[in-house]
Structure 1
């Protein structure tokens, strides 16, 4: 049922404090080795270190050997599992710096292997050797150093950070393609991230050493940045092709062997936006009085004079990218149009305020729109957010980033760009909306001789073949940085649009005939530590496909060009020398549509509860909108289509198959209208607040009497969102975890509901910063007039060093029973703070 604007979201009554429920158990025990095994395996490394340390020029000799455990060199200790309190034990050794920890890929011996990265001074190497010698002889270590004993017992390998760590295989392939046939002096712009050192003087020394190495290689520094708040230290440099070839060969004498370097990366490259099929502008909705921005778009320079954008953007362009934008301004114009108006094929829904617009890309005379090539993109984004807070965007708490770095698909390790967003979101109280990224790589359709055989098959069989092809290459279709950000919402593209008459020709054609599904070009999850990503799917246009005319007969290609038969309608930079419209598709468009929806939710709340919304802090506004966007997402029963493909034998554990479904769907498809208001048979309630360390509160959720009237299907769902401080370099990267406690047996009986598998599992949901729980059934509720059920939310014990500050949360709860027309009215009667919008029967 469509929403009713006269039935706004309802405010939950104030909660009461409640005891926190205990958390779950810990992980299993990891494999360890006896001392004799370890002496044989690692004794020679420590003996070599012992021999050199006894020489008069120990530091110089160690540094001369690229594989030695040397001072000021990043060392890696690979272990079979987590070592409790190891970072604290490292701090007990003077001159030893903890540089981070990461997961290793599991194998048949170790299910959760990890490695620890340390940067030692010479004296620290002597003490590590002393700890090893003592443990090797007696199996003990001095008081306070127990984690070192555990590390020695679980040690798989100890080594120096080397060239293969600094330059991934994917990046080596990228660089070699970039310089193919280029002369030795051809300059390639790259990003070099340094091992982050916590002491400023150590960072300065490392950068000085790196700059000298770049100069010696014939290169030059273009930009540099340090951000201690999220452990970022990077240099943008031009490097000659001759040195790039040495880097790609993993020559230890090249920059790939330079001790200060953590990683060598291509310069950040954005994702282009395809648009096409011009259309006349039509009538422009008159400009209402517009308030100060609460939403921002960081994107390419737009055509701000376009009638759909004029007077609606607050442009802030301190880098004067406008002067460089001499080409077609497609990307920024489209994103601004969608953020302000939504899909122009839908009924008009302009937002109530101007949009703060910060250009971070520009359109050159030819080719795709680009990031400014003389800046480190991550630092530019950080600077832009800080400036926004002081220059017209003081109230902004929603930031649209329909951008991604196509050189950095997520591979398990959270990117520096994502870390930056996580820091900014918590520090400034901002909800970043980030596109998952698009991928146009072809799909090989198995089981058909040619395209004609595919088209002749039943619709269900065709749909299954497309999904099976996607599942076969899911590892190559992962999200682009910074989409794995924990605090951001990541938006994928739903294969949907508002075009009434789709294309009827034989080619291109719809990839799915009978199923709601993401676009075949929308990149897939999962996120950091298997968290739910993408979070939600918004309409991104019905992406058509076609069989390749030059490849083998069953290679399916996405049809690149949008048209009036598929796509979202947006403002166009120019049509026959005048401003008009055209069409676009993909996750960038879906993300901008999510920004538009987020703004509309805020507008509706502000109209209904001005006394609550106006004084609400930015962080609470951000998490409330975050919760409400996810809250109306649903798998729409599509798991019944996906599961047989990812779990053909039906024997996967429910956690596993739901995780595979979530890789495609996240929390599900979002119909924007369901986020804005309620209906007769659906009441959504909301709340915000803060939770202190290990705090717990309980809300009384009203149970309408209609739930006891019959055995119709009913649903209760709850969504909790927060912004977490983060710990870069630590496995416990997310410092704060919140949780929705399970409904007890009495609450389930009162409401007549049970738990359901039609959503990401609880453990997967609780790996991020959104928890979404859903209960459904078709039983008569056992309730009396005025009954409520308790919904408890709590802050788990902080991971790592406790965080003293209270953490803001947003909560949404829905009670729904299709066809029960009194649900909203009965819940409305219960709430203490009534919305200002009039309620109609």
Structure 2
């Protein structure tokens, strides 16, 4: 390193994470190259890259790609670093401004030049960072003046109580000066969160919507990390119809609930839900709504209990528990359901989980047996962008701390801008051509269709939606099917990836078909219409007694996966009867079985990787109902520590010494502790090693690559291998798969991580081998796990 940059590197001290940094000394580096390893350049300067992420934007006059043949013409990188030394901060900014003026730097700054050549901007954390995830104009641009609206102000989490108190006083004073007030404040040390729920005048929001940041002191405050609104992305829904139920089924069992919904107040006395839904409502949110306003909670409860009513499934064995967290909002014209006034999502989650699992004030926990939590809720104003939201950080901490599987919807985007054509031209396309055109539009708009908070949570299973349901209805009147009757990706579903480009969502499920309104004049935007009395959509109970309706979106997809998770939990209980499993191991087992049941979707390749909307695949297999004779599926549960490796042994059957297709699938799932102060965030990085032992050498995985399956900060890995080679060994031989654990983000401090692995062997039916029976006979009371 040159002497000048060596001196600069000595000045630079990088915070462990952005939330833990001094806000006046946070620098944002925006890159303009589509594929650049900025980490190497930054390391030459003695500067650790705090977060490296990918955004997608259209090139413009100021933003041009360096490569003439870019892999992705929309891809750019964004690099954040935090400098704790004011001298280094000023020095870097000064050198950047020199570079911008003439493209040159003084002698000795070659490494800095190597960094600057790839950058669009170097700047302090400012108003554009605090507001960039919010479409302020859409939310507030048309509101009348003189009203107060609730917003959330997230402050930088300071290390000391005194510093936090000082920053809160300063921000509260700015809010008061603007004509607003602080409704509530929350500090949660375990996730580094300091938030305020405030009201602010419409005029201030209008200034923000129009980019007049100088007139709003609050958004310029160095104490403020984010300023955002809260809301709820509602599914598209149709008109209520009479119930299709002829005879009420038998009553549910007296077993305690294992599923809890955090949602709106349900119409618990609806004939389809009576005695099947137990409501725990400590905040008395039921008093804030009429029965007909209890939409979302009723819909989701119905989808979890019954699935898509059109498909005629039996209800779940056990009742479900609903803990309401949504209430009708007076700030919306249709009183749509949102978080209650004064509530902050991380605090509400923490209170709800404590009620479920902890004794409080001498009372037993209300959900001691709950193993699965459904959250078909999200904040449409907070799209995932670089940093994990406080809501998602809270879910990650709660999931590991209580050993619970949380299932989250990826989020809905209600409008779809078309690319290179309008609605009239789209209607002229038929079949696969129309489907491809819509998929291309989804790909082109993916930057605006990112995951909705808190679906970026790494410990949760995030669910996307496909354009499918059991309604079997086609478009009638002035509506059209965006896929023209073909299976496709839902036009609503959010697009991943997750934190550090991890695979998100993990899977997709039927979210209901949705038809778009044919406008009187050609339009370049698809507007989706609620269903008719015949559909399409996922059929669920409506709040009105004895009524049903059709809905579409990622919320019902998430509910259907939650229903499947409940049935898999019963399977895990059955096959592990008498064995001591921890809550975290059971949750990991259900998680692994869910992902193991995914498969590919028969959709043409879009302009973006389909894994960004369906992860490992579409949920197509119900493993709770067993498997065919030509396949065996084994479940392994355990706990593993840092730098440990455990061997999973799969007994082999006879009869595989023929050249015919054989497929090995392996899924690994775990719950990781997290360190919000560290850029790696995930403390436990588990991975599968390619199967070996008494089997032929396997090639590269089919479907997702190993790099994709292990990328980022995920907590699920799913891989498949196929071979036509003959197995030289048979009964009495074993296939071996190892599980490895590496510690990250400051280490595990001796903690053990709960995990589960699902391994299956499938052979072509033509081989004529009863794989299931032969493997079953070799499995003893406990499948061996070798440390």
TM > 0.5 between the two? yes
Label 1:216 to 1:35 Cα distance change in 2 as closer, same or farther (>3 A).
Answer: farther
1:415-494 equivalences under 5 Å are: 415-444=389-418, 446=420, 450=424, 454-455=428-429, 457=430, 459-494=431-466
Shift of 1:308: 2.0
Q: Distance in 2 between matches of 1:761 and 1:275?
A: 42
SS class of match (2:557)? helix
Label 1:409 to 1:105 Cα distance change in 2 as closer, same or farther (>3 A).
Answer: closer
1:215-614 equivalences under 5 Å are: 215-245=176-206, 247=208, 248-251=211-214, 254-272=217-235, 274-280=237-243, 281-326=245-290, 327-363=292-328, 366-390=334-358, 391-444=365-418, 446=420, 450=424, 454-455=428-429, 457=430, 459-499=431-471, 501-503=472-474, 505=476, 508-513=479-484, 515-552=486-523, 556-561=526-531, 563-574=533-544, 578-612=545-579
Q: Is the 8 A contact 1:418 1:481 kept in 2?
A: yes
Q: Distance in 1 between matches of 2:315 and 2:427?
A: 46
Shift of 1:429: 0.9
For 1:715, which of 663, 688, 692 is the aligned residue? 663
In the alignment, structure 1 residue 749 sits paired with structure 2 residue 696: yes
Q: Distance in 1 between matches of 2:433 and 2:76?
A: 37
In structure 1, the partner of 2:98 is none
Q: Distance in 1 between matches of 2:641 and 2:728?
A: 35
In structure 2, the partner of 1:22 is none
Q: Distance in 1 between matches of 2:339 and 2:424?
A: 41
Shift of 1:524: 1.6
Shift of 1:104: 6.1
Shift of 1:669: 0.9
Q: Is the 8 A contact 1:748 1:754 kept in 2?
A: no
Shift of 1:311: 1.8
Q: Is the 8 A contact 2:27 2:125 kept in 1?
A: no
Label 1:719 to 1:545 Cα distance change in 2 as closer, same or farther (>3 A).
Answer: same
Q: Is the 8 A contact 1:252 1:258 kept in 2?
A: no
Structure scoring higher RCO (CA < 8 A, sep ≥ 6) equals: 1
For 1:692, which of 631, 635, 641 is the aligned residue? 641
Shift of 1:477: 1.5
Shift of 1:162: 2.9
Q: Distance in 2 between matches of 1:153 and 1:329?
A: 58
Q: Is the 8 A contact 1:667 1:760 kept in 2?
A: no
Shift of 1:419: 1.0
459-468 or 620-629: bigger deviation: 459-468
Shift of 1:201: 2.0
Label 1:463 to 1:126 Cα distance change in 2 as closer, same or farther (>3 A).
Answer: closer
Instruction: List runs of 5+ in structure 2 lacking aligned partners.
Output: 13-20, 30-36, 56-64, 68-74, 94-109, 359-364
Shift of 1:302: 0.4
In the alignment, structure 1 residue 627 sits paired with structure 2 residue 599: no
Instruction: List runs of 5+ in structure 1 lacking aligned partners.
Output: 1-31, 47-70, 91-97, 133-148, 647-656, 836-841
Q: Distance in 1 between matches of 2:427 and 2:464?
A: 31
Shift of 1:522: 1.6
In structure 2, the partner of 1:23 is none
CA displacement 1:524-574 (0-9 Å, x = unmatched): 21111111111111122223345433333x754433326434222222221
Label 1:514 to 1:776 Cα distance change in 2 as closer, same or farther (>3 A).
Answer: farther
In structure 1, the partner of 2:682 is 734
Q: Distance in 2 between matches of 1:402 and 1:741?
A: 34
CA displacement 1:765-809 (0-9 Å, x = unmatched): 342110111001333333233221110111024343443200000
Q: Is the 8 A contact 1:532 1:760 kept in 2?
A: no
1:826-841 equivalences under 5 Å are: 826-833=774-781
SS class of match (1:678)? coil
1:152-171 equivalences under 5 Å are: 160-168=124-132, 170-171=134-135
SS class of match (1:310)? coil
Q: Is the 8 A contact 1:171 1:265 kept in 2?
A: no
Q: Distance in 2 between matches of 1:707 and 1:800?
A: 46
Q: Distance in 2 between matches of 1:192 and 1:393?
A: 32
Q: Distance in 1 between matches of 2:233 and 2:493?
A: 16
Q: Distance in 2 between matches of 1:421 and 1:169?
A: 20
Q: Is the 8 A contact 2:380 2:452 kept in 1?
A: yes
Shift of 1:81: 4.3
1:759-838 equivalences under 5 Å are: 759=704, 761-767=706-712, 768-819=714-765, 820=768, 822-833=770-781
Q: Is the 8 A contact 1:492 1:591 kept in 2?
A: yes
Q: Distance in 2 between matches of 1:707 and 1:793?
A: 26
CA displacement 1:681-734 (0-9 Å, x = unmatched): 2211101110011110111112222433x4333211000001111122432111
TM-score normalised by L of structure 2:
0.83
Q: Distance in 2 between matches of 1:394 and 1:347?
A: 31
In the alignment, structure 1 residue 663 sits paired with structure 2 residue 612: yes
Shift of 1:829: 1.2
Label 1:174 to 1:227 Cα distance change in 2 as closer, same or farther (>3 A).
Answer: farther
In structure 2, the partner of 1:103 is 52
Shift of 1:163: 2.8
In structure 2, the partner of 1:8 is none
TM-score normalised by L of structure 1:
0.78
Q: Distance in 1 between matches of 2:374 and 2:133?
A: 32
Q: Is the 8 A contact 1:101 1:114 kept in 2?
A: yes
Q: Distance in 2 between matches of 1:438 and 1:676?
A: 31
Q: Distance in 2 between matches of 1:696 and 1:357?
A: 40
Q: Distance in 2 between matches of 1:253 and 1:600?
A: 52
CA displacement 1:382-413 (0-9 Å, x = unmatched): 21111111331112121000101111122232
CA displacement 1:6-31 (0-9 Å, x = unmatched): xxxxxxxxxxxxxxxxxxxxxxxxxx
Label 1:488 to 1:246 Cα distance change in 2 as closer, same or farther (>3 A).
Answer: same
How many residues were matched structurally?
Answer: 716
Shift of 1:360: 0.7
Looking at CA atoms only, which structure, 1 or 2, has the larger radius of gyration? 1
762-771 or 680-689: bigger deviation: 762-771
Q: Distance in 1 between matches of 2:560 and 2:432?
A: 30
CA displacement 1:211-263 (0-9 Å, x = unmatched): 12222222111111111101110101111234445554121771122221111
Label 1:478 to 1:104 Cα distance change in 2 as closer, same or farther (>3 A).
Answer: closer
Q: Is the 8 A contact 1:395 1:618 kept in 2?
A: no
Q: Is the 8 A contact 2:377 2:555 kept in 1?
A: yes
791-800 or 627-636: bigger deviation: 791-800
Q: Is the 8 A contact 1:703 1:786 kept in 2?
A: yes
Label 1:446 to 1:790 Cα distance change in 2 as closer, same or farther (>3 A).
Answer: same
SS class of match (1:739)? strand
CA displacement 1:162-204 (0-9 Å, x = unmatched): 333323274443565154xx33x43222111101112222112
Q: Distance in 2 between matches of 1:689 and 1:317?
A: 36
Shift of 1:113: 6.3
Label 1:633 to 1:781 Cα distance change in 2 as closer, same or farther (>3 A).
Answer: same
Q: Distance in 2 between matches of 1:616 and 1:169?
A: 41
SS class of match (2:556)? helix
For 1:208, which of 169, 179, 183 is the aligned residue? 169
